[in-house]
Structure 1
Amino acid sequence: MASIARSSLLRQVASARPAFQQSAIRAAAFHTTARRQLLPPLPLNDAAPVPPTSPSHGSYHWTLDRLVAASLIPLTVAPFAAGSLNPTLDAVLCATILIHSHTGFQNIIVDYVPKKRMPGVRKLFIWGLNAATAVVGLALYEFETTDVGITETIKRVWTA
């Protein structure tokens, strides 16, 4: 008698749908609007193109970034440690900061604005970065030639 009851119970459980599956079907009936995608979908199963080799990219580019970043430490400390404010050293510091900022923002644009999906936006960002770098470079040049310079300004702010 126990085996007869058990087999019928198993048939009932096997034929019944789970409760979460029934509620999912009912909830899906209410969604009648189409989904809109913000970006077009990427193509599937396309082989990744191999970029042409270039000495200005890849490891040389990374090495240049590291050298510029490492050179900022002595260029920032040297004028204050030596006690003399040299306009040539100040100009080299400004140029190094400008190059470091430009390559850093360029790396951000390359990493986070894909060329394949948004070529126009990427080009706009690159042109905006180039324009901003030129404006900041001009402003630093004017500040260095007509005013006291970066290191003297920092020295005055610290002693104020």
Structure 2
Amino acid sequence: MASIARSSLLRQVASARPAFQQNVIARAARPTATTAFHTTARRDLLPPLPQRVDGTVNDAAPVPEPSPSHGSYHWTFDRLVAASLIPLTVTPFAAGSLNPTLDAFLCATILIHSHTGFQNIIIDYLPKKRTPRARKVFMWGLNAATAVVGLALYEFETTDVGLTETIKRIWTA
């Protein structure tokens, strides 16, 4: 009985196969239509920025003016701020004392660390030469956000329990 079912099933598949092959061949012969998702079509998400060449090929590369607030001093300052966050974060909880001065230093260091980190992102991804207006808008936005967060942290430190006490209460809740 099982062999009869198999042979009839095979006959059905064999008879349907040429029709399927003809359908595939007919599709391949038709002109290609663009679909919604096609891996070979090149579509940029954002159009490229305007391209401009200053000077000629033989001109030397411009060397920026040296500035102590950029380069190695800036990198060293960022690393010192990041490294100082470790003891400032651990000390209030390990020592068991909740000092408002230490809490203020922690808030200021977190604020400076966040500001310089976002500033580095803006500098890296919005070059001044290609997008001067967008970079200026983002820098002003970062400065405004830093001022608002600094004011909020100040208010939180002076009128409420402070950052480390809040973290301690959340941790023990």
TM-score, reference length from structure 1: 0.75
Q: How far apart are 1:86 and its partner, in Å?
A: 0.2
Matches of 2:139 and 2:117 in 1, distance apart? Answer: 12
Superposition map of 1:1-160 within 5 A: 37-43=47-53, 45=57, 47-160=60-173
Q: What RMSD over aligned residues (CA atoms) do the two structures have, in Å? A: 2.0
Q: How far apart are 1:117 and its partner, in Å?
A: 1.0
Q: Percent identity?
A: 82
Q: Structure 1 stretches of 5 or more lacking a match?
A: 1-26, 28-35
Q: Kindly provide the amino acid, as one letter, of the partner of residue 43 in structure 1.
A: V
Structure 2 partner of 1:33: none
Structure 2 partner of 1:9: none
Structure with the larger RCO, 1 or 2 (CA within 8 Å, 6+ apart):
1
Cα deviation digits, residues 121-141 of structure 1 (max 9, x gap) = 000000000000000000000
Q: How far apart are 1:43 and its partner, in Å?
A: 1.6
Matches of 1:53 and 1:62 in 2, distance apart? Answer: 14
The list of structure 1 runs, each at least 4 consecutive aligned residues, that deviate by more than 3 angstroms after superposition, is 44-47
TM-score, reference length from structure 2: 0.69
Cα deviation digits, residues 54-76 of structure 1 (max 9, x gap) = 22211110000000000000000
